[in-house]
Structure 1
């Protein structure tokens, strides 16, 4: 049974941090002087109205974009100029708003493909397909952990949208990330799938850091330990959900319609 996120007194270590993070597109500043600390074993939400700069921050942290100014550190190592593939191998892994699975492979094979890199098989292209069999036990563990055991042999294309997103989380976890970035993981989901994914994220965050962009404020309130609110590329407020939801500036910028 899922256990609600607990707030321990001892502050866990910072595993991902940004200082003065800024991104200019010509004269337009999409992100301006953002400081961010993401802690081990915590779920950290990045929220704000459309155009606030949330996805740009994600792209900067994962090195899909290079910052105009500022620094980024992962587990104490400066990654400001590190390419995205190396950052991923260092343990910073993200999902995207659009589901990214192989539709014509089974659930099992999607996860086994994802397991190739951490198990040293991704570059050994001469090996027969049967070489993936050694990854089946671990793949089954991940499939069961995210609640896809019944769909193990189904094609990804035949899954509902919500179950595809669950499969994507399984393939992301196959890379054994230290920091998991989730870009709107609940987008387009029904209530049942939202509950499932919330439980998965809560469980995942027991052993790693999770940073998520999320519009569903009920989910943010339920599972997130810390919330950073962006507006026009700048930090408007931060703290736990109870704190930021009472901030009048946040209500005006983002939550007014939710509270009405």
Structure 2
């Protein structure tokens, strides 16, 4: 039944001058789940995200969100529906404080981001909610620190807080643990699990230990097409998936990055 799924794609296809980057992908993201999109480099994962957030238009196929066809909507319209993407490269303002970054995101949600003539005081009402969001990602002690001084992992946590400030119903995370040390990876892993408690998360992620420990469903893409889908235990034993990742059928997928 459609209502079980917050997001569905039907034969979603994107061609660039004869090159098929996404090839007839049927994606079904169950409401309230953590769904991971994995695959070797060049598998079409980021292109898929760009299609879902309307950064690019599909060549053919359909995108349904809460059962409604949103294929031809503008990016802003899709964002207003509650599909919010957190970027691969930390998208925060380095010279604003940690609190101010969250406040900017809250303003965007209110639609007052261009009211520069408003007094600073009118933004104070947002501080309480901003601090609440920082608390949820363990950044409250850093609220008044310039963002540039945060560690890489904490910047990514801040990015998750600013994404949450937009009140997403479906949160798209693009490589949330890329370039992180073990300690930061673990912090972000726990954070995603916490954030997903009352919303749906679709993530592109290379780190298999993260995927195996938090994803309910995994879709494996190869050359733009769906190679396999299911829980990690099932997908990781699929010979075609092991072959795609490792180039041989006798290697475990576990630990593949």
> Fold-level match, TM-score > 0.5?
yes
Partner in structure 1 of residue 238 of structure 2: 247
Structure 1 residue 194 displacement after superposition:
1.2
**1:226-258, CA deviations, whole angstroms, 9 ceiling, x for partnerless residues?**
000000000000000000000000001015475
**Backbone CA RMSD of aligned residues:** 1.5
1:195 corresponds to which of 176, 186, 189: 186
Change (3 A) 1:70 1:200: same
Structure 1 residue 39 displacement after superposition:
1.6
Structure 1 residue 259 displacement after superposition:
4.9
Partner in structure 1 of residue 165 of structure 2: 174
TM-score with structure 1 setting the length: 0.93
TM-score with structure 2 setting the length: 0.94
The 3-state SS of whatever aligns with 1:229 is: strand
Moved more, 133-142 or 118-127: 118-127
Which structure 1 segments of 5+ residues have no match?
1-10
Number of aligned residue pairs: give it.
250
Q: Retained in 1: the 8 A contact 2:86–2:174? A: yes
Moved more, 69-78 or 179-188: 69-78
**1:23-65, CA deviations, whole angstroms, 9 ceiling, x for partnerless residues?**
0001110010000011221100000000000000000011001
Structure 1 residue 122 displacement after superposition:
2.2
Partner in structure 1 of residue 175 of structure 2: 184
1:24 corresponds to which of 10, 15, 18: 15
Distance 2:186 2:110 in 1: 31
Partner in structure 2 of residue 6 of structure 1: none
The 3-state SS of whatever aligns with 1:81 is: coil
- Residue 219 in 1 paired to residue 210 in 2? yes
Partner in structure 2 of residue 164 of structure 1: 155
Moved over 2 A (4+): 117-126, 255-260
Structure 1 residue 12 displacement after superposition:
7.7
Structure 1 residue 151 displacement after superposition:
1.0
Structure 1 residue 119 displacement after superposition:
2.8
1:229 corresponds to which of 220, 229, 234: 220
Distance 2:73 2:57 in 1: 9
Which structure 2 segments of 5+ residues have no match?
none
